[in-house]
Amino acid sequence: MHGEVAPVSERHTGLSLLLVAIGSALFVGGPDPVVELARWLADRAGVLLLGLAAAIALVTALPRGAATGPLGLAGAGVVVLLVQHGQMTSADWWAMGGGALIGLGALLSLGRRRGGSPQDVDPVHTYRIMLLSRLIAVEATDRMPKQIRLITIGARAELNLAAAQPGRTDVLELVLTCCAGRVEVALPERWAAVAGRVSATRRVDFIGRLDAPAPLTDLDDERQRMVLTEAAAERAKDYPVPDGARSVVVLIHVVGLWGQVVLLGR
């Protein structure tokens, strides 16, 4: 018998790591190290905030993999500024080294989530992306849930489902919340895409071709279900469904303010 496996929350994992780091510092040296770290950060807040802003801008603006070099240079520049202003001591170097190790551990633990076996598929997958861009990709063996919720704020997110397999239903719902961001969606060629509930958007541009002329807001309505069926059939004329495979209609709901939703390759 297979039990349901709940996906690990990245936010909870990051918070756990932070609590472990703070608890370790309190256990070893009492409250002094934590107070000193807070004071150190407050004294250098201006330079650190500038470096953080530059890092976020680079990661958001540059393609994946292209930001590594500029981010390294930006980090080195922050360190040089701190040294030039006489704000770095030997103790600070040790503190930075420890912080770098903690950060590396956090990055490793928050790696890209991979899909599970078909028995472990959650009916709803939720992803939250804020400030830093991220790719969410599935493997060829991953089966889709009933619904994917993607919340993007001030970042660029790419949801790559091109290699996905159909789930237990013939309709996959994407609920996209986009605020001052950009969401890019890649779908298998043979899957039809139609608009769902999109009225709660302001200044959100949709780029790409849909397979139905009007949004569908009620899947319980027989006429709208017929439109879904016709959209899948029309798509299958251009991209035939292999023997033994099922066609899927992707229903895209969008909520947001100032942003873009892009269907890649359509």
Q: Rounded to whole angstroms, how far apart are CA atoms 13 and 9? A: 6
pTM recorded for the entire structure: 0.58
Q: Rounded to whole angstroms, how far apart are CA atoms 189 and 212? A: 15
Residue 132 lies in a domain: yes
pLDDT digits (tens, 9 = 90+) for 20-62: 666 666 666 667 766 777 777 777 777 677 767 766 665 555 5
The single residue listed with the structure tokens 């541009």 is: 205
- Tell whether 164 and 80 lie within a shared domain: no
pLDDT digits (tens, 9 = 90+) for 240-259: 877 767 778 999 999 999 99
Tell me the percentage of the chain whose pLDDT exceeds 70: 59
- Tell whether 40 and 71 lie within a shared domain: yes
- Tell whether 126 and 57 lie within a shared domain: no
Residue 4 lies in a domain: no
The DSSP H or E segment spanning 46 is helix 45-61
Least confident window among 13-17, 146-150, 208-212: 13-17
- Tell whether 123 and 103 lie within a shared domain: no
Residue 76 lies in a domain: yes
Whether 113 and 135 have beta carbons less than 8 Å apart is answered as no
The DSSP H or E segment spanning 57 is helix 45-61
Domain count, the chain: 2
Residue 6 lies in a domain: no
Query: Would you state the structure tokens that stand for residue 162, as one six-digit string?
Result: 């091109």
Domain final residue, candidates 71, 88, 109: 109
Domain final residue, candidates 60, 80, 109: 109
- Tell whether 103 and 156 lie within a shared domain: no
- Tell whether 127 and 240 lie within a shared domain: yes
Q: At residue 96, does pLDDT exceed 90? A: no
Helix, coil or strand: residue 191: coil
Q: At residue 2, does pLDDT exceed 50? A: no
- Tell whether 170 and 138 lie within a shared domain: yes
Question: 219 CB contacts (<8 Å, ≥6 apart)?
Answer: 171, 225, 228, 251
